[in-house]
Amino acid sequence: MPRTVGRSILALAALSISVAPASAQDARLAEQVDRWAELMNEQVIAWRRDIHANPELGMQEFRTAALVAEHLESLGIEVETGVGGTGVVGVLRGGRPGPVVALRADMDALPVTEQVDLPFASTATAMWQGREVGVMHACGHDNHVAILMGVASVLAEMRDDLPGTVKFLFQPAEEGPGGAEPMLADGAFEDPRPDAVFGLHAWPVPVGQILYRPGGQLAAADGLRIVVRGVQTHGSQPWSGVDPISAAAHIVVGLQTVVSRQIDLTDSPAVVTIGQIEGGNRGNIIPDSVVMVGTIRTLSPENRSRVHALIVQVAENIAESQGAVADVTIDLGYPVTANDPELTQQMAPSLRRVVGEGAIVMSPIMGAEDFSYFAEEVPGLFIMLGVTPPEDPSMGHPNHSPLFFADERALQIGVRALASLAVDYMSGRPISD
């Protein structure tokens, strides 16, 4: 476990902040963020490597949570553990009055066996769905945790001059079953309640880029299950029964018209995918039923409700037209991760200050994130942090791949970005580039 750098050690290199009018003071806070991020970078890298080498699955992040809690306590931050399972909440109260900002990092890894050639590559295993599997930070959450630990160090050094309060949310189980809702149920947004929440995610675009989007940035992800019920009969005389396989095939085709013909894709994309079909056990027997399993992705609450209703209508009507019955079940998953448009516009200059032209308005992503629950409670902004080496795009493997790679040069950018968002928001205005 890497050594924690506390306030007493970092204070040796502290930059003094003189008493000054608010606007000048706020500008100097921005300079302090950059300076402390640079001073903390070696330690942040060490944390990231330690966490990467010791990944833990969702709701099993005991070692990671202990590391986080120990570090926050060393900084004199108020700490609560066991929030929503294995979550950790820290509260840093600044020396000046101002708003409350929440910053979030997710801690869990995935049941993936690492194939990246790193000296700190994961060799961890765990039980998953009844079998032993490799465990890897294949989605970059090790970076998220190390970055937020670094942000905590940076802001703790600036505590006396911070114009507000910062809540640090270290969340379990983003990959499932979801840790944001349990944390909220356990009071993560209480005493004090945040005025805004910020988060980031490692993403396979070049280091030096930060991607963001007002409105729907990541999709709602809902489970779909359709059971088509017919009447079993001999395959040589289908007229003696009702063929659920034929009905299921027509339903698969019909569902594509929900997206291509009944949703305005110029306004908000949507996806309906059937990824699994099971029915029958012999070529000469028409079975009683067919089970279809899929996923629904939408980028606005309005489209989410409309797509759900259309799926039920299409499946039931097509089945009825062939004498069958379709039972449709839609399991609600993570909602749309929507960036508050006003907050996004307000904080965009802060991102440009950190990466200049690398701050890019992105296209939406049809993956899902349970940061969405935090952003439903208060205005939120979620950004994507580039982690691919610019000089070697071939290293840009997708999240959840056993080859996922994060360039550590992105860590300091992430610390600067989250700390700047917090400080600039508390100051009441972003510090432009």
Task: State the CATH number of the domain containing residue 324.
Answer: 3.30.70.360
**346/253 same-domain check:** no
Domain count, the chain: 2
Question: For residue 267, what pLDDT is reported?
Answer: 87
Taking the C-alpha atoms of residue 290 and residue 274, their distance in angstroms, rounded to an integer, is 13
pLDDT band at 134 (very low <50, low <70, confident <90, very high): very high
Q: Clarify whether residues 135 and 201 are in a common domain.
A: yes
* Residues 307, 258 contacting (CB under 8 angstroms): yes
pLDDT in tens, 266-292: 889 999 999 999 999 999 999 999 999
Lowest mean pLDDT across 118-122, 207-211, 256-260, 426-430: 426-430
List pLDDT tens digits, range 149-184.
999 999 999 999 999 999 999 999 999 999 999 999
Query: Are 213 and 265 part of one and the same domain?
Result: no
Residue-wise pLDDT for 231-244, tens only, equals 999 999 999 999 99
Q: Are residues 263 and 116 in the same domain?
A: no
In a domain, 1, yes or no: no
Q: Residue 297 is part of which domain span?
A: 220-331
Cα–Cα distance between 397 and 213 in angstroms, integer?
Answer: 22
Tell me whether residue 66 is in a domain.
yes
Asked if 274 and 355 sit in the same domain, the reply is: no
Position 432 in a domain = no
Residue at 273 is within a domain? yes
Look at residues 286, 303, 331 and tell me which one is the last residue of a structural domain. Answer: 331
Same structural domain, 205 and 229: no
Flag the least confident range among 16-25, 228-237, 338-347.
Answer: 16-25
Task: Note the residue count of the chain.
Answer: 433
Residue type at 164? G
Judge if 20 and 115 occupy the same domain. yes
For residue 121, is pLDDT > 90? yes
Is residue 2 domain-resident? no
Q: Is residue 290 domain-resident?
A: yes
| 54 and 150 fall within a common domain | yes
> Of 331, 360, 384, which closes a domain?
331
Predicted pLDDT of residue 430: 60
**Which of 17-26, 50-59, 201-210, 220-229 is predicted least confidently?**
17-26
Q: How confident is the model at residue 23 (pLDDT cuts 50, 70, 90)?
A: low
**Which of 331, 363, 384 marks a domain boundary?**
331
Please give the Cα distance from 144 to 152 (Å, whole number): 12
What is the rounded CA–CA span in Å between residue 333 and residue 339?
18
3-class secondary-structure state, position 340:
coil
Catalytic residue set = 334, 408
* Burial degree of 420 (CB within 10 A; 0-12, 13-18, 19+): buried
In a domain, 176, yes or no: yes
Give yes or no for residue 13 having a pLDDT over 50.
no
Residues 139 and 246 grouped into a single domain:
no
Which pTM value belongs to this model? 0.91
Same domain, 389 and 315: no
Same domain, 319 and 352: no
Residue 91 shares a structural domain with residue 39: yes
CA angle 150, 153, 159 (to 5 degrees): 140
Q: Which CATH number does the domain housing residue 79 bear?
A: 3.40.630.10
Name which residue leads in pLDDT, 431 or 25: 25
pLDDT of residue 177: 93
The two structure tokens encoding residue 118 = 């790193």
Q: Please report whether residue 99 resides in a domain.
A: yes
